[in-house]
Amino acid sequence: MATKIDFYAVLEVTRTATADELKKAYRKQAMRYHPDRNPGDETAEHKFKEINEAYDVLKDEQKRAAYDRFGHAAFENGGMGGGGGFGGFGGGGLDDIFEMFGDMMGGRRGGGRRRTGNDIQVQVEITLSEAYAGVKKPVEIRTRVTCESCHGSGSADSNAGDTTCPTCHGAGAVRAQQGFFLVERPCPTCHGSGKVVRNPCKSCRGAGTTEKTRTLDIAIPAGVEDGTRIRLTGEGEAGGSNVQPGDLYVHVSVGGSDIFQRDGANIYCRVPLRMTQAALGTEIEVPVIDGSRAKVKIPAGTQTGENFRLRGKGFSVLRSSARGDMYIQVAVETPHQLSPRQKELLEEFEAEAGETQDQEKANPEHTGFFAKVRDFFEGK
């Protein structure tokens, strides 16, 4: 633990970073070092853990304050329960700090023996349509689970019971000299629990947990946004006998779309119109995020940038019955190429406009602008 990197340095933020800045920095770093994006890269995996650990502390005002004051020492006694690396040490010289902070931090310590299994982080990628409708995603997790043979007790004989660990004498931790430092480690015999079973279970050799690949169906709610973190309490690693399992954190990343842009609960779809469609008026068919089609009436004389709202065709809002809208944003496309006949027709059109039309009504912006230009040159 002596070699731990400063949490602020891990997230590449200053010590005065706001909650927003922290969140942004966390997202950026977590994306960069996520195991899914760096398969088999142990350095990235380690970095990813550090990032989550750092953010877990700094996002919480009280934990951050404790960290600012005491550094890593504030969290190294296994009392915090949260965040990947915090489980582990029991009973040690840091108890004093915990006497001060134990209550303030929600009282989750219990003499250094109250621990949880490790938290697990997984990344789930979903499409924009899946984010719209909500989706169940199977996620494979290789993790420690409660041993089926002994139901987590670690004992082959339910009457045999526990006995104090002979290695650490119940402390759960052992100390060793490492260079200049006196380093404290979780006890290798009892893995920090301070107790060993008398007649260990054959399947798990007394640990109370075995390694297993689990597949969990993660229900991702409709309306979820990119970067959302879903916490499934108790779905993390099993901690062994008398220890609560850790939590599972599901990081949801929502893909983009070539057709739709999302802004919160609203959806925007930019639809290019032919010049004649905009001038004459028409009815167009547009795609809706739910996979259906909708008809939109485009009145004659529609301009670039005009919006047509399709009420309630946006995303649902989490934990609410509200729903966003969809906006069709039209853009008039001037033809890039004309056939000789089209050219002829348009020249005729232009001549007609010049001769007989009320220009102030037909092209009010154009007419208005050049009226101002005339005033400008006349010095008005």
**Which residues bind to Zn ion, rule: CB under 5 A?**
147, 149-150, 165, 167-168, 187, 189-190, 201, 203-204
Q: Return the bridge partners of 330, or none.
A: 271
Is 366 in a helix, a strand, or coil?
helix
- Minimum CB–partner distance for residue 209 and Zn ion (Å): 8
- Minimum CB–partner distance for residue 154 and Zn ion (Å): 6
C-alpha 71, offset from chain centre: 26
Residue 187 annotated as part of some ligand binding site = yes
- Minimum CB–partner distance for residue 120 and Zn ion (Å): 21
Q: What is the DSSP letter of 85?
A: G
Q: Two tokens at 162?
A: 């526990």
Q: Which is nearer to Zn ion, 22 or 238 (CB)?
A: 238
Contact 207, 216 (CB under 8 A): no
Distances 282 to 144, 277, 295 between C-alpha atoms, Å: 62, 6, 10
Q: Which is nearer to Zn ion, 145 or 147 (CB)?
A: 147
Contact 82, 46 (CB under 8 A): no
Q: Which is nearer to Zn ion, 126 or 201 (CB)?
A: 201
Residue 269 annotated as part of some ligand binding site = no
Q: Which is nearer to Zn ion, 63 or 144 (CB)?
A: 144
The pairing of beta strand 120-126 with beta strand 248-254: parallel
Taking the C-alpha atoms of residue 380 and residue 378, their distance in angstroms, rounded to an integer, is: 6
Q: Which is nearer to Zn ion, 66 or 150 (CB)?
A: 150
Residue 201 annotated as part of some ligand binding site = yes
- Minimum CB–partner distance for residue 183 and Zn ion (Å): 16
Residues 6+ apart with CB under 8 A from 255: 125, 126, 127, 128
Query: Residue 2's closest CA among 189, 171, 175?
Result: 175
- Minimum CB–partner distance for residue 55 and Zn ion (Å): 32
Query: Residue 204's closest CA among 163, 143, 145, 159?
Result: 145
CA angle, 22 then 23 then 25, to 5°: 65
Q: Which is nearer to Zn ion, 188 or 364 (CB)?
A: 188
Known binding residues for Zn(2+): 147, 150, 165, 168, 187, 190, 201, 204
